[in-house]
Chains A and B, each alone.
Chain A
Amino acid sequence: MKMWLIMEKGARIRFIGHLDLMRTMQRALRRSGLPVRYSNGFNPHMLLNAAAPLSLGMPGLREVIEVPVGGDIAPEAFQERLNEALPPDLRCRAVRALPDEHPAPMAMLRAAQYLIELDGDDPGAAVCMSALPGMLAVDVLPAVRKTKTGEKPCDVRPMIYSAEILGPRTICATLALCEAGTLKPDLFLTVLARRAGVEKPGAFITRMQLYAMQDGALTRLEEA
C-alpha cells in the first residue's frame, strides 16, 4: 500500500527548498513512528515521491507527496499522527490510501493552478490586468523558454488552460506542468507584461492545486 499525502507548504516556509522540504518530511515521518517502508540495500532510505518540486519562494496549498507504507493504517489516523509530528507551517490536509500499482503522482501530473497576486504599488500591474483578455484571445503566443541546454523559442498558448481575473490585481491561471511541457507562472507573467508593454510587475504566487488529465479533462490530481 502507499499513501498520497496532500500537503500544504505555508507562506512562512516558502523559501525552504525542495530537498530541505523532503528531509523535513522524512524527519517528521520518523518522529511520527508511522509504518513507512524504506528502500532495501545498504543505506535504507524513505522513498518519498513528490508530484513536482515547488519553486523557491512559492507556497503550495495542495501538494501531493507519495509514501509507501508497510502496516495497516487508516488514512485519517495517518494524517492525524503525521500532523502531530510536522512543524506548524507544513500541514497534511488529506491522506489517500492507494494500491502500489497506482501510478506515481509525477507520472499523472499535467497541470497546476496558480494564484497570482500582482503588487498593488507596481504601476504595471493594472496594465497587465487589462491586457489579459487580449492575450487569451490569440492563437499563438511566442516566448523564449530557458532550458538546461539554452534558450528555446516556443509557443506558450497551448500551455495555458485557463486564466481568470479574480480581483483587481489577482489572476488565477491553470498552466501546463508535466514532462511534455511546462509553463511556469513566472514566464506566463513575463509574456503578459510584454504584451502589455510594461516591466514585469512583482507578484506573490501560490500554487493552489495540481491536475491530472482523465478522459480529456483536467481532474484534481489528488482524486485521480
Chain B
Amino acid sequence: MNPTQERAIEKLLEKVEKPARYTGGEMNTQVRPWDEAELHFAFCFADTYEIGMSYLGMKILVSLINSLPYMSCERVFMPWVDFRAGLKAEHLPLFSLESRKALSEFDVIGFSLQYEMSYTNILDMLDLGGVPVRAADRGEDAPIVFAGGPCACNPEPLAAFFDAFQIGDGEEMMVEFLDTLRECRRQGLNKNDTLLRLSQIEGVYVPRFYQPEYNDDGTLSAFRRTDERAPETVRRRILKDFSNAFYPDTFPVPYTDIVFDRIVLEIMRGCTRGCRFCQAGMIYRPVRERSMERIIALAEQLEKATGYEEMSLSSLSSGDYSCLKELIVALMDRFQDKRVSVSLPSMRVDNLVKQSLEELSRVRKSGLTVAVEAGTQRLRDVINKGVTEEDVIRSVSDAFDSGYSTVKLYFMTGLPTETDEDLRGIGDLARKVVAAYYAVPKERRAKGLRVTCSASVFVPKPFTPFQWAAQDTIETVMEKQGRLREYLKTKGVTFNWHDSELSFLEACISRGDRRIGEVIYTAWQDGCMLDGWSEHFKYDTWLKAFEKCGLDPAFYANRERSYDELLPWAFIDMGVTQRYLQLENERAKQAKTTRDCRKGCNGCGLQRYEGLCNV
C-alpha cells in the first residue's frame, strides 16, 4: 500500500464496526518480512475474522506454512459489509492483516472451504483483492488460487474459480504442494505445466484437466480427462502418522473476542461410529489418535506461548479417545495451579462417564450438549446413531445431578424415512429430559432448567450413505417444523430451528456439478454474499440465479439419484468406497445398524491402505 492508501485505510477504520478485525498484530502472528520470503501465501477464510480465527485448520496450516523457510503466510478474511463498502468507495484492494498487501500481490492464494454458503464470499474476496474471479481469466502472472478443507470433497461447484484443490489431510500435502510450486517457479515453468506437476501430488485435483459431459436429463454422462497425464482418479490424501504430524506449538492470541478463544488440542482425527448422515465421519476415516505424551507436551507449549486459561480437547468424538480419563486427569493435574480449565466440546452422550463430568465441573460449569439427531429408536437406527433414549436420560440425569441445569438437544428433520411418529418422538424425549431434571432432589439440582431443542434441516452430503437421497422440499420442511413446534410446547423447553431456504441452497451446492458454479457466479454478481448471515441472505436472488442459468434447484436438492448415476464427485477416491456407501444406504432402508468399527472392521474401503486401520 502506498502512503495515500494507508491513510485512506486508517480513515476507513475509524468509521467501521469492529475495526480490530482488520488490523492484525496479535500475539504470535508475526511473519517473515515481505522481502525475505521467496513465495508469499495468502491464507483466506471466506468469513469474518472472529469465525476464521476460531477455526483450528487455519491455525495448523498457517503455522505450518510459516515454518517453511522460504514461505511467508499471511491471513485474509472476508470484510464485513461496512468495511467492504469502504474499500470499494476508496478503490482500496482487500489486503492481508500482516503486511497489508493486496491479494493480487501474493504468489499463492489458498482458501479453506468450510461451508457451501460461504462460496459467494470467495468470489467477492478475490474480486476485492484485485484477482480475476475465474481461473480462465487469470494470466500467467496471476496468483495460483486453490482450496482445501472438508467441502473440497466435492470441488466441482467451484471448479471454474480455482486452479487446484487439495483433498484430504493438509499437513504433508501442503508442503509437497508448495515445494513443487517453488521448484516450478525456479524452473520457469508456465502455469499449465506447473498445474500439471501439482496434479501429480496425491490429493491434488486440477479441474482444468477434466471435462464433464451431460445427458439430456441433466445428469452426468461422462467425466473425461483432457490431459492423460493427470490422474484418472484423484485419491484423497491421508496422513498416516497423525500422532507425530505437524501441530503448532504456538497459537495466535487475538486481542478481541473470537468464537473459540482458547487452546484447542486436536486429540484425534476421524471417527469410527459411522453415523450415516455425517460427512466428516466418512471423509476423515480412519480414526487416528494423537498420543497422550504428545498432547500433554503440546498443551504445555501452547499454554506457555499463549497465556490462555482454557483448553479444549477436540475431535469428531472426543469421548472415544482411548485414554480420555487419564488424559483429562493428567491435564488437570498439570494445569490446576495455573488455573487453566479443560473442556470437551463434542461430548457424546453414550460414553459420557459420570466421573469425567465431575472432573470437568471442578473447573467450569457450562451446559451439556447432546446430539440425539432423531426422535425414535427406529430412525436413530436408520441413521446409525448409536444413542438410545436410556443413554440420553442417563447422561442428562448425571449432568443435572452434578449441578448442570442447561441442556441442549440437537435433532435433524427430514432424515430419510422420517414419519410423524419420529417428530412426536422428539417432543416425548424433551419431556422426559424435563422429568429427569425434576427427579433430582431439589437441594441437589441447580436452579433454572433450560432445555433447548435445536432442529436442523437434513442436507444430504457427498460421500455419505445418503448421498443419493432427496432432501425434503422447503414446503415439507416448514410444515414439519410447524408440527414440531406443537410437539415441543412444554414448560422449560425452547425450540430453535434452521432456515429451510438456506439448507435448501446448501443441498443444491453441496451435491452440485460444475454448472452450479455459474449459479454461484450469477448470484454473487447480483449481490449475494455473506449468505450465512441471515440479515444478508437473499433467497430470491439465488432462485433467480438458477433461473438465469437454466438450472432447476430441485434437480440438485430434491431428487433421489439412482445407484448407476454418475455422481459429480465420483472421480475422487475418498477412501470409503462407493460400494460400501451403497451397502450402508441399503442397511439404512432396513433400519439395520452397523457396528462401531473399533469393535471390528466393516470393510469400508480404508482397509485397502496397509497399516492405516489398526483393527
A151 at the interface (CB under 8 A from B): no
A194 at the interface (CB under 8 A from B): no
Contact A13 B23 (CB under 8 A): yes
- Chain B, range 325-347, C-beta contacts under 8 Å to A: 338-339
A125 CA / B25 CA spacing, docked (Å) = 31
Residue in chain B with minimal CB distance to A21: B255
Residues in B neighbouring A86, C-beta threshold 8 A: 27
Contact B255 A24 (CB under 8 A): yes
B90 at the interface (CB under 8 A from A): no
The distance from the CB of B615 to the nearest CB of chain A, in whole angstroms, is: 42
B308 at the interface (CB under 8 A from A): yes
Interface centre among A29, A86, A89 (most CB of B within 10 A): A89
A12 CA / B30 CA spacing, docked (Å) = 13
| 8 Å CB contact of B25 from A13, A28, A85, A202 | A13
- Chain A, range 49-95, C-beta contacts under 8 Å to B: 57, 85-89
The distance from the CB of B165 to the nearest CB of chain A, in whole angstroms, is: 35
Contact A15 B13 (CB under 8 A): yes
| 8 Å CB contact of B255 from A16, A26, A30 | A16
Interface centre among B14, B24, B306, B309 (most CB of A within 10 A): B14
- Using known A-B contacts A85-B307, A87-B26, A88-B25, determine if residue A13 contacts B255 with beta carbons closer than 8 Å: yes
Contact B14 A57 (CB under 8 A): yes
A140 CA / B25 CA spacing, docked (Å) = 44
Residue in chain B with minimal CB distance to A12: B25
Residues in A neighbouring B255, C-beta threshold 8 A: 13, 16, 20-21, 24
Contact B24 A12 (CB under 8 A): yes
The distance from the CB of B82 to the nearest CB of chain A, in whole angstroms, is: 14
Contact A31 B25 (CB under 8 A): no
The distance from the CB of A174 to the nearest CB of chain B, in whole angstroms, is: 24
The distance from the CB of A60 to the nearest CB of chain B, in whole angstroms, is: 15
Q: Report, as a range, how many residues of chain B touch the other chain.
A: 20 to 34
- Chain B, range 21-42, C-beta contacts under 8 Å to A: 23-28, 30
A27 CA / B253 CA spacing, docked (Å) = 9
A44 CA / B257 CA spacing, docked (Å) = 21
Contact B14 A12 (CB under 8 A): no
A204 at the interface (CB under 8 A from B): yes
The distance from the CB of A9 to the nearest CB of chain B, in whole angstroms, is: 11
Residue in chain B with minimal CB distance to A57: B14
Contact B30 A44 (CB under 8 A): no
Contact A87 B10 (CB under 8 A): no
Contact A204 B253 (CB under 8 A): no
- Using known A-B contacts A13-B255, A16-B256, determine if residue A27 contacts B306 with beta carbons closer than 8 Å: yes
Residues in A neighbouring B13, C-beta threshold 8 A: 15, 57
The distance from the CB of B86 to the nearest CB of chain A, in whole angstroms, is: 14
Contact B27 A27 (CB under 8 A): yes
A21 CA / B255 CA spacing, docked (Å) = 7
Residue in chain B with minimal CB distance to A26: B307
Contact B25 A27 (CB under 8 A): no
The distance from the CB of B100 to the nearest CB of chain A, in whole angstroms, is: 10
B20 at the interface (CB under 8 A from A): yes
Q: Report, as a range, how many residues of chain A touch the other chain.
A: 20 to 34
Residue in chain A with minimal CB distance to B30: A88
Contact A87 B23 (CB under 8 A): no
How many A-B contacts if CB must be within 8 Å? 57
User: Contact string, A30-41, partner B, CB cutoff 8 A, digits 1/0?
Assistant: 110000000000
Residues in B neighbouring A12, C-beta threshold 8 A: 23-25
Contact A202 B20 (CB under 8 A): no
B305 at the interface (CB under 8 A from A): yes
The distance from the CB of B296 to the nearest CB of chain A, in whole angstroms, is: 19
Interface centre among B11, B24, B28, B256 (most CB of A within 10 A): B256
Residues in A neighbouring B257, C-beta threshold 8 A: 20
The distance from the CB of A30 to the nearest CB of chain B, in whole angstroms, is: 4
User: Contact string, B244-263, partner A, CB cutoff 8 A, digits 1/0?
Assistant: 00000000010111000000
Residues in B neighbouring A85, C-beta threshold 8 A: 307
A57 CA / B15 CA spacing, docked (Å) = 10
B304 at the interface (CB under 8 A from A): yes
Residue in chain B with minimal CB distance to A121: B7
B69 at the interface (CB under 8 A from A): no
Contact A31 B306 (CB under 8 A): yes
User: Contact string, A1-33, partner B, CB cutoff 8 A, digits 1/0?
Assistant: 000000000101101110011001011111100
A197 CA / B231 CA spacing, docked (Å) = 73
Residues in A neighbouring B256, C-beta threshold 8 A: 16-17, 20
B19 at the interface (CB under 8 A from A): yes
Residue in chain B with minimal CB distance to A23: B255
- Using known A-B contacts A24-B255, A87-B25, determine if residue A31 contacts B10 with beta carbons closer than 8 Å: no
| 8 Å CB contact of B305 from A17, A31, A204 | A31
Residues in B neighbouring A204, C-beta threshold 8 A: 10
A209 CA / B256 CA spacing, docked (Å) = 26
A204 CA / B24 CA spacing, docked (Å) = 20
Residues in B neighbouring A202, C-beta threshold 8 A: 11
Residue in chain B with minimal CB distance to A31: B307
The distance from the CB of B22 to the nearest CB of chain A, in whole angstroms, is: 9
Residue in chain A with minimal CB distance to B22: A15
- Using known A-B contacts A13-B255, A31-B307, determine if residue A24 contacts B27 with beta carbons closer than 8 Å: yes
- Chain A, range 192-211, C-beta contacts under 8 Å to B: 202, 204
Contact A15 B307 (CB under 8 A): no
Residues in A neighbouring B306, C-beta threshold 8 A: 27, 31
Give A residues with C-beta under 8 Å from B: 10, 12-13, 15-17, 20-21, 24, 26-31, 44, 57, 85-89, 202, 204
| Ranked 6 nearest A-B pairs via Cβ | A27-B307, A30-B307, A15-B19, A31-B307, A87-B27, A16-B255
**Contacts A16-B256, A20-B256, A87-B27 supplied; 18 other A-B pairs, CB < 8 Å:** A10-B25, A12-B23, A15-B13, A15-B19, A15-B20, A20-B20, A21-B255, A24-B255, A26-B307, A27-B27, A28-B27, A31-B304, A57-B19, A85-B307, A86-B27, A88-B25, A88-B30, A202-B11
